[in-house]
Structure 1
């Protein structure tokens, strides 16, 4: 839902100059009803000068009177020729002058340890340009002899979170399937556990065999035909 310019200042004016309910003002200005009530009580926005939505063409007098007569109605924002503020497009990251000489070192580190990153990602991370990345890559940079690969996080050119985010996105952008890493330590532990379980099974089997009478373990005893039955 579109909101008026400077919603809080507009709410101040509506509270002071109209008979609208707090609920109507809150719905029009995108605020909570209790916040509008706090404005009326002087607890909030005490130093804000009210902004007349009639004067700037965001609300008509007829619309205001219509809603004042019926609390169930909601104010409708009028079309206005006043340009609305636009979100600023994200540009290249700003790098302080004191750290700009560290960017070639950071580029060299990223090219060495994370070749999967694109030039656009590197530019975004440390606020550099693609031509600079190319000169560092092909060692044609004017200061190539003194460039030392250093982590951009430790240099303060980007955060660890931003670096990990770009690394995670790089394989998907390049269409590379990353093979799952095998935890050899875990596999060794599992093998050891299986061996112990088999050993315990053998011990349990031996204990069970020892509890069985010998004649049952060796089978029925053959009778000697020459043996006297005692009769």
Structure 2
């Protein structure tokens, strides 16, 4: 699996300006076509892009560049630590003040369309409390007259990937226990249950 450097065009600009690598080597490292690299070298493309130093940003070493300058058939190899993506720490999820009033709508949507989700899963998805979920379910929420079930993904309260994973986990648990998986309601139906 080939991984590209951060900001490939800016990296290509730096490699063209500062090294004696061939266009093919730069193109292979940056995931570009050799003609595009040649156009960058000729000044036809990427005008005004400041070069991005892959050595200072721990994507390459000077030894790797020197090795490839000596052998024109060699390919640059990106450092393995350069592309490690830091995972978000588990914990409370921040919801902006403007979206906090949308949480009960998202809770109502999940309760109506995905009854197999447990309160703990909804709480984790939307960053809310079990007490709020119970109040929305029992229509005891202070704003229950104005709650309309709306998709929490479109409200920006959770990602579609997280929602799909939670629903899949809940469905798996139901099938393991021998229960039937409920079919979600059509999304166009905004009337409450």
Q: TM-score range by the shorter chain?
A: 0.5 to 0.7
Instruction: Tell me which of the two structures has the higher relative contact order, counting C-alpha pairs closer than 8 angstroms and 6 or more residues apart.
Output: 2
Q: Which of 144, 148, 172 is the aligned partner of 1:147?
A: 144
Indicate conservation of the 8 Å contact 1:126/1:158, yes or no: no
8 Å CA contact 1:114–1:167 kept in 2: the answer is no
Encode CA deviations 1:129-173: one digit per residue, 9 max, x unaligned: 4342134345665x2xx514522149x6369x95x9579634334
TM-score between the two structures when normalised by the length of structure 1: 0.53
For structure 2, the residue ranges without an aligned partner over 5 or more in a row are 184-193
Q: CA deviation at 1:106?
A: 4.5
TM-aligned CA distance change 1:110 to 1:2, over 3 Å:
closer
Are the equivalent residues in 1 in contact too, given 2:12–2:26 (CA < 8 A)?
yes
Q: Against the structure 1 CA distance between its residues 153 and 105, is the aligned structure 2 distance closer, same or farther, given a 3 Å change threshold? A: closer
Please give the root-mean-square deviation of Cα atoms over the aligned residues, in Å. Answer: 4.1
In structure 2, the residue matched to 1:66 is 67
Q: Which runs of 5+ in 1 are unaligned?
A: 181-231
Report how many aligned residue pairs link the two structures. Answer: 170
Report what 1:86 is aligned to. 85
TM-score by length of 2: 0.60
On the 8 A contact 2:117/2:167 being kept in 1, the answer is no
CA distance in 2: counterparts of 1:5 and 1:23, whole angstroms = 19
Alpha-carbon distance, 1:12 to partner:
0.6
